[in-house]
């Protein structure tokens, strides 16, 4: 019986080239699986047909948009997930979901091999293969772009020789990955980190320098989940889509950064994530109002580690699962509304309110109505500083040793 390879198919250069290559090198039948995580921009039926035109024996498209929003983007909001304090995990969040559906497709179609189009320089090879190892260690993995050491110019030439129906050419060699959570652009002239991005790179956002009226939006959260926008009930998918539209129209969410890849090299990436940045900004502010100080301090470290684990391809790890439980408990009181002004490329918080707020006007005000007992402060300050005061006296007595 002929072996079957289940290929994670995007419709782009690397995975289109992979179809005839896998068939030639392994002798196996190739089944292309495209997972719709809200990437938009192209008819997924056309992607399905392209895979068949490239030589796949079967091709399927999985509509996972709501699943991606609720099961992957939403946890990232609750974790305020920003890798290196900037990147909202655009590609990293989609990979474990794609892995899940690749395994399901392999079981349905009798596949024994799973394949992806990742190179040996990137993070995605780790995300795919570590995820597959966790969910289906019996499946063999083949990575033609990495194992055959493809360069993009070779891949473009190979695609031309095979007559593959893809849009990438030597004149437009960008690598683009996009989904509901954002858009990532790399390679080409961007590899010279002195070169500034050009406006043609962007698709999810408008030029923030263009003059336009500001947009004010109120986001309602319930236990850390965005449930309404301007009073209208929304699902996580609808919330992200709407804020992609509105924040994107104001140029919010553009990032140009050199990041630390898991494999040890630095990479220049240009990102657009308008909805992600707007939602995380609002969520962080509501946490500032509703989460107790020590819990909030500890959660900031948890958030950072959560983002690193997801970036590093460890979505299915025991530590990630344990941190999810902590974050879930920490979100119990993150309920209320945050008002943002979207303008000039920024999402600025201008108001916040919550029935679970820990902000007490009487305790905070310096005007009439102040309920804070200032007589307690003098003793508190002395006791708080006492250990440092005693250590300083000791150091002075011993001559600074």
The response to whether 288 counts as a known ligand-binding position is no
The response to whether 259 counts as a known ligand-binding position is yes
The response to whether 87 counts as a known ligand-binding position is yes
The response to whether 172 counts as a known ligand-binding position is no
Q: What is the DSSP letter of 71?
A: I
- Answer yes or no: 200 catalytic: no
Question: Which of 4, 48, 65, 95 is the catalytic position?
Answer: 95
Run of H or E including 129: helix 124-135
The response to whether 8 counts as a known ligand-binding position is yes
Closest by alpha carbon to 302, among 276, 338, 329, 278?
A: 329
Closest by alpha carbon to 21, among 112, 164, 144, 169?
A: 144
Question: Which of 124, 177, 303, 312 is the catalytic position?
Answer: 124
Q: What residues form DSSP beta bridges with 401?
A: none
Cα separation of 50 and 257, whole Å? Answer: 33
- Answer yes or no: 260 catalytic: no
- Answer yes or no: 95 catalytic: yes
List Cα–Cα distances, 283 to 157, 247, 276, 347, in angstroms. 47, 15, 10, 12
Question: Which of 4, 14, 115, 183 is the catalytic position?
Answer: 14
The response to whether 179 counts as a known ligand-binding position is no
The response to whether 175 counts as a known ligand-binding position is yes
Query: Edge-to-edge strands of the sheet including 140-142?
Result: 58-63, 29-36, 4-8, 113-115, 140-142
Cα separation of 340 and 351, whole Å? Answer: 7
The response to whether 119 counts as a known ligand-binding position is yes
The response to whether 10 counts as a known ligand-binding position is yes
- Answer yes or no: 14 catalytic: yes
The response to whether 117 counts as a known ligand-binding position is yes
The response to whether 11 counts as a known ligand-binding position is yes
Question: Which of 91, 94, 115, 175 is the catalytic position?
Answer: 175
Residue 198 tokens read as 């050009």
The response to whether 123 counts as a known ligand-binding position is yes
Strands 254-260 and 266-272: antiparallel
Contact 37, 94 (CB under 8 A): yes
The response to whether 127 counts as a known ligand-binding position is yes
Cα separation of 241 and 252, whole Å? Answer: 14
As a three-state string, the secondary structure of 9-64 is: CCCCHHHHHHHHHHHHHHCCEEEEEEEECCCCCCCHHHHHHHHHHCCCCEEEEEEC
Going by the annotation, the residues of the binding site for L-citrulline are 87, 123, 127, 175, 259, 271
Going by the annotation, the residues of the binding site are 8-16, 87, 117, 119, 123-124, 127, 175, 259, 271
Going by the annotation, the residues of the binding site for ATP are 8-16, 117
Going by the annotation, the residues of the binding site for L-aspartate are 119, 123-124
Catalytic residues: 14, 95, 124, 175
């Amino acid at each position: 019986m002929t072996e079957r390879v289940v290929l994670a198919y995007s419709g782009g250069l690397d995975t289109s080239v992979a179809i005839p290559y896998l068939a030639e090198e392994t002798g196996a039948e190739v089944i292309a699986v495209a997972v719709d995580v809200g990437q938009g921009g192209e008819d997924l039926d056309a992607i399905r047909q392209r895979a068949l035109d490239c030589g796949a024996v079967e091709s399927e498209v999985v509509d996972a948009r709501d699943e991606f929003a609720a099961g992957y983007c939403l946890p990232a909001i609750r974790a305020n997930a920003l890798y290196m304090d900037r990147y909202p995990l655009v590609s990293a969040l989609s990979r474990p979901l794609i892995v899940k559906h690749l395994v399901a497709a392999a079981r349905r179609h009798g596949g024994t091999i799973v394949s992806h189009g990742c190179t040996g320089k990137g993070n995605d090879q780790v995300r795919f293969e570590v995820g597959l190892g966790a969910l289906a260690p019996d499946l063999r993995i083949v990575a033609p772009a990495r194992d055959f050491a493809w360069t993009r110019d070779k891949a473009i030439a190979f695609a031309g020789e095979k007559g593959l129906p893809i849009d990438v050419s030597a004149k437009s060699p960008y690598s683009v990955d996009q989904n509901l959570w954002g858009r990532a652009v790399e390679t080409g002239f961007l590899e010279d980190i002195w070169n500034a991005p050009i406006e043609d790179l962007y698709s999810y956002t408008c030029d923030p320098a263009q003059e336009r009226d500001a947009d004010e939006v109120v986001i309602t959260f319930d236990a850390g989940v965005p449930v309404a926008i301007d009073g209208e009930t929304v699902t996580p998918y609808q919330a992200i889509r709407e804020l992609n539209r509105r924040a994107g129209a104001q140029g919010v969410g553009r990032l140009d950064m050199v990041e630390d890849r898991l494999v040890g090299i630095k990479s220049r990436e240009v990102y657009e994530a308008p909805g992600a940045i707007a939602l995380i900004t609002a969520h962080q502010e509501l946490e500032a109002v509703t989460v107790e100080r020590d819990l909030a301090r500890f959660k900031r470290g948890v958030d950072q580690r959560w983002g690193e684990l997801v970036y590093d391809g460890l979505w299915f790890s025991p530590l990630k699962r344990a941190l999810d439980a902590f974050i879930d408990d920490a979100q119990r009181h993150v309920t209320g509304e945050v008002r943002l002004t979207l303008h000039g490329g920024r999402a600025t918080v201008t108001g916040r309110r919550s029935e679970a707020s820990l902000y007490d006007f009487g305790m905070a005000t310096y005007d009439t109505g102040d309920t804070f007992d200032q007589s307690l402060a003098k003793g508190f300050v002395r006791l708080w500083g006492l250990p440092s005061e005693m250590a300083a006296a000791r150091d002075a007595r011993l001559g600074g040793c």
